[in-house]
Chain A
Amino acid sequence: MFIINSVSSIYRTLSGGTLRDIALACLAVWFIGLSYGAIAVASGFPLWVPAAQSVLVLAGASEFLFIGIVGAGGNPLAAAAAGLLVNARHLPYGLALPDMTGPDMTGPDMTGPHMTGPGRPVKRSMKRLLGSHVMNDESVLFALAQEDLPRKRAAYWACGLGVLLCWPAGAVLGALIGSVIADTGAFGLDAMFPAVILALIVPALRERQLRRAALTGAVIALATTPFLPPGLPELLALFAIAVKRKPA
């Protein structure tokens, strides 16, 4: 069971401070998952939608985008396209990271002799697939912040597996809580959704060029909402990308 090996290896490799930071990041992910699940059922989706998405997509912002557009009556394929655009950042992440699941030293199991023997190539490719799936903003940031490759790998797997557990756990619990609330409007749950996304992009908005582009995009989306089917205004907002080319 390479997950168990991974966990003990991570524990030996990482400092207490890093482990604590990773735990806090996972806790934050759990909270966001909680609001995500509650919002999804409040927007009229059955429980399995946030549950399945949280495991299969495992990328919060794109899941919010998908739920937001489809919940407003938009085309699911347009919503998927918008979500994929948001998730395209995982490609440069993978290019920037050193090998987290290489063929020589595979993932966090680089200490023991248990990585040799028959049947390992299958295990290795499984690990490569899982290692790719747990790539997210948090695991990449923690990996890049470490000094050497063993620590980078340990941090990547610790955070990646932590998010893989916490995000769906939060989403399912949130969906369960959300489904027992009868009148979501009275509790202001509809304000939670934009507030969550706003909180997620505020760090980026502190940068002047990104803020200008974001504001322009928001204005484009608002101006076109009265005339276009749901989902399209958000995609049309991408024209705001031209704003960032002007000198600040």
Chain B
Amino acid sequence: MKDPTLFAAGLITLSAGTFAFRLAGPVLRQRISFPPWAERLLETAAVILLAALVATTGLTEGHHLAGLARPAGVCVGGVLAWRKAPFLVVVLAAAATTAVLRLLGIP
């Protein structure tokens, strides 16, 4: 949010572009077909981007590794999610783990 104009430009780009993707499918339906491999490529790209975001926001702070509390919380959340715990449990357990570790003086 350092530059409000640039921030607004980013927000508008994301909003308008997303809407364009949504509108394009129904409009183009009769004219083009989307090959399965391309669909798969998009899915893979989305998962990679989000996994990378989990790694950077979960494990780093600025240009350095974060302390122990946050990665530990994310790990607990990840294990619970893998074991199909409800979403609310996953998120609250991650936050609680981190909060308790910080309470114990672990950064």
Contacts and interface: CB of A to CB of B under 8 A. Distances in A.
B34 A199 contact: no
B46 A198 contact: no
Given A89-B46, A92-B39, A210-B43, A198 B52 contact: no
A124 interface: no
A238 B49 CA distance: 7
Contacts of A4: none
Given A45-B1, A70-B1, A191-B73, A222 B56 contact: yes
Interface stretch (A9-17, A71-79, A108-116, A142-150): A71-79
Contacts of B11: 49, 52-53, 56-57, 66, 76, 80
Q: Is the interface of A mostly helix, strand, loop or mixed?
A: helix
Contacts of B15: 53, 56-57
Interface of A: 28, 31-32, 35, 44-46, 49, 52-53, 56-59, 61-62, 64-66, 68-70, 72-73, 75-77, 79-97, 99-101, 128-129, 131-133, 135, 185-202, 204-205, 209-210, 213-222, 225-227, 230, 233-235, 237-238, 240-241, 244
Given A45-B1, A191-B73, A221-B53, 6 more contacts: A61-B46, A80-B17, A92-B38, A95-B25, A194-B70, A202-B78
